[in-house]
Chains A and B, each alone.
Chain A
Amino acid sequence: MNSNKVEQLVIATVGFFWCFLMWFSTAAFSPSIAANYHLDIKELGLLASSAIWMAPIGRIVAGWASDRFGAPRTFAAILAGCGLVSIASGFTSNYDLLFAERVVVAIAGVSFVVGIQHVAQWFDSHEIGTAEGLYAGTGNVGAGVGALLLPRIFGTNYQGAFVWLGAIALGIGLWYLVRGSAAKNAERRHAARVGSDMRGTIFVWSRYIAIALMLAYAMSFGLEIAMNAWLPGYFARGFHGAILALGFTSVAGVQIAAGTFAAVQSFTASLFRPFAGFMSDLFQRRGWTPLPFIAKSLPYAPRLHWLGIALILITLAMAALTAAGLSGSLHLSVAVLVAFGIFVSFGTGGTFALVPLLFPDRPGVAAGFIGGISTAGGIVYPLIFAGSANIHMGYLYAALYMFVPFLLFYFWAARYERHPEEHGLFEAVPAE
């Protein structure tokens, strides 16, 4: 049974890694696509943002489907559907059709919640943080790996890349279907299936602690994907003089420099995520509950405290980014960005070390709600950053006007010493 558990973790991680690779593969080839179809900057921006359009709603549906039909079937369906459309997009010569096909391929990003549900159905509470962290962190880095390797392997031949990505997705989908198993035992599987009805969905959506975790994930993962899109442009504009002074004088050179500085956030936020899950497990093991107000006697109270610490650090890091930017120091800004990425990973890893424990009978529905709505942050934050008169001030505004209220709500919702999941907008508890 133990080796089977590890096999399920490996299958879910490989599947998610490939889905993330497909999710951001359009962005990796956007210069080639823009050159091929003569796109202007607005059309290019639309193409880049389209990757996130399907995530909020898609993740909710995917979470419900994984509880209802089991993770292997749901994940295989996502891989097969996105893989087939990816192959089709490799043979498309009409831009409108290509755009629509790439929006469909971006549905691959919803697979996150399916794997979260799958891992939660196999691992026990004392090791869930590390297991979920390994799954999500290793999978997330698919975005960075894709941006780094795909253009080097395929050059400007994005059509060939889309065909290969799709074909391999079909193979992984088949593997997932054949070797994947929905849950550790029949009891867990049954509980998840029963909990996925409409009453169970409304129950999860109306819980204060679920809303608090959704906002915590918006502060971490929502921010991570927002920064993926925002940071290259931020460095290119906010530190244009400093980059020129380094010798990157051509447009391509500025892009390389800005992209390299921005990659710090993507790599640290992804690759420190398993460590964040490990830290959540460590807090739990040692029983650390240092924060005021947050519950101290719940079985998973130390994990609530670890997440609270992560959210405070993210808020402080946002203010530090503004301070570093206003100082005009490129070195300081990149150094702060390293800490920022690590703190974001604490938030993402800390949140999903808690979700399966708070809603053990509805892991997919809960993951879909928390992991889905929060991705809207990827659309909202760049608007705040871009809307500020000073390009460096947006981080502070987002921290003050969004993150501080989110943080206060988290402390308030996590204060219950008994069954926080029973407290919500109404007290109705669905039949199990």
Chain B
Amino acid sequence: MSMNLDSETPVTYGSWYKYGVAFLSVEMLIAIAVSAYSLYMTFHGLGGFPGKH
């Protein structure tokens, strides 16, 4: 089911890596927010912000 490849050799990440992971987390939150808004709109239609037009 699993194997040891890189896990056998310790891997050192640069200091950039944790910021990169934080940044991709923020990007995912934006995508989730857009998805949640769209789903909300499927239930509420014109009542969904900024659906008033």
A binds B: yes
Q: Is the CB of A2 within 8 A of B16?
A: yes
Q: Which of A134, A267, A274 contacts B35 (CB 8 A)?
A: A267
Say which one of A53-61, A174-182, A294-302, A388-396 lies at the interface with B.
A294-302
Question: Chain B 33-53 against A: per-residue CB contact (8 Å), 1 yes, 0 no?
Answer: 011011101111110000101
Distance in angstroms from A420 CB to nearest chain B CB is 15
Question: Chain A 132-158 against B: per-residue CB contact (8 Å), 1 yes, 0 no?
Answer: 011001100100000000000000000
Q: Is the CB of A127 within 8 A of B14?
A: yes
* Chain B residues, Cβ within 8 Å of A100: none
Q: Is the CB of A334 within 8 A of B2?
A: no
* Chain B residues, Cβ within 8 Å of A253: 53
Q: Is the CB of B39 within 8 A of A134?
A: no
* Chain A residues, Cβ within 8 Å of B30: 267, 271
Minimum CB distance partner of B36 in chain A: A338
Q: Is the CB of B14 within 8 A of A261?
A: no
Q: Is A335 an interface residue (CB 8 A)?
A: yes
* Chain B residues, Cβ within 8 Å of A245: 45
Q: Which of B1, B24, B45 contacts A130 (CB 8 A)?
A: B24
Distance in angstroms from B3 CB to nearest chain A CB is 4
Minimum CB distance partner of B9 in chain A: A126
Q: Which of B13, B20, B28, B34 contacts A134 (CB 8 A)?
A: B20
Q: Is the CB of B2 within 8 A of A264?
A: no
Given the complex of chains A and B, what is the CA–CA distance between A330 and B5 in angstroms?
45
Minimum CB distance partner of B35 in chain A: A338
* Chain A residues, Cβ within 8 Å of B42: 242, 246, 261, 330-331, 334
Q: Is A131 an interface residue (CB 8 A)?
A: yes
Distance in angstroms from B8 CB to nearest chain A CB is 8
Q: Is the CB of B28 within 8 A of A246?
A: no
Q: Is the CB of A271 within 8 A of B28?
A: yes
Given contacts A248-B46, A331-B42, contact A260 B37 (CB under 8 A): yes
Given the complex of chains A and B, what is the CA–CA distance between A252 and B17 in angstroms?
44
Q: Is A430 an interface residue (CB 8 A)?
A: no
Q: Is A230 an interface residue (CB 8 A)?
A: no
Given contacts A252-B53, A261-B42, A331-B43, contact A289 B2 (CB under 8 A): yes
Given contacts A126-B6, A301-B5, contact A134 B14 (CB under 8 A): no
Q: Is A215 an interface residue (CB 8 A)?
A: no
Q: Is the CB of A286 within 8 A of B2?
A: yes
Q: Is the CB of B27 within 8 A of A271?
A: yes
Q: Is the CB of B24 within 8 A of A137?
A: yes
Given the complex of chains A and B, what is the CA–CA distance between A245 and B38 in angstroms?
16
Q: Is the CB of A263 within 8 A of B38?
A: yes
* Chain A residues, Cβ within 8 Å of B11: 126, 285
Question: Chain A 238-274 against B: per-residue CB contact (8 Å), 1 yes, 0 no?
Answer: 0000100111100011001100110110011011101
Given contacts A130-B17, A130-B21, A334-B39, contact A275 B6 (CB under 8 A): no
Given contacts A260-B41, A264-B38, contact A272 B31 (CB under 8 A): yes
Minimum CB distance partner of A332 in chain B: B42
Q: Is A402 an interface residue (CB 8 A)?
A: no
Q: Is the CB of A247 within 8 A of B5?
A: no
Minimum CB distance partner of A10 in chain B: B16
Q: List 11 A-B contacts (CB under 8 A).
A: A127-B13, A137-B24, A138-B23, A261-B38, A267-B35, A270-B31, A284-B5, A288-B2, A331-B42, A334-B39, A334-B42
Q: Which 10 A-B pairs have the closest CB atoms?
A: A246-B45, A274-B24, A247-B46, A271-B31, A271-B27, A287-B3, A267-B34, A247-B45, A338-B35, A6-B16
Q: In the complex, given contacts A268-B35, A277-B24, A278-B21, what are 15 additional A-B residue pairs having Cβ atoms less than 8 angstroms apart? A: A9-B16, A130-B20, A130-B21, A246-B42, A246-B44, A264-B35, A268-B34, A271-B31, A274-B24, A275-B27, A286-B2, A288-B2, A297-B3, A331-B43, A334-B39
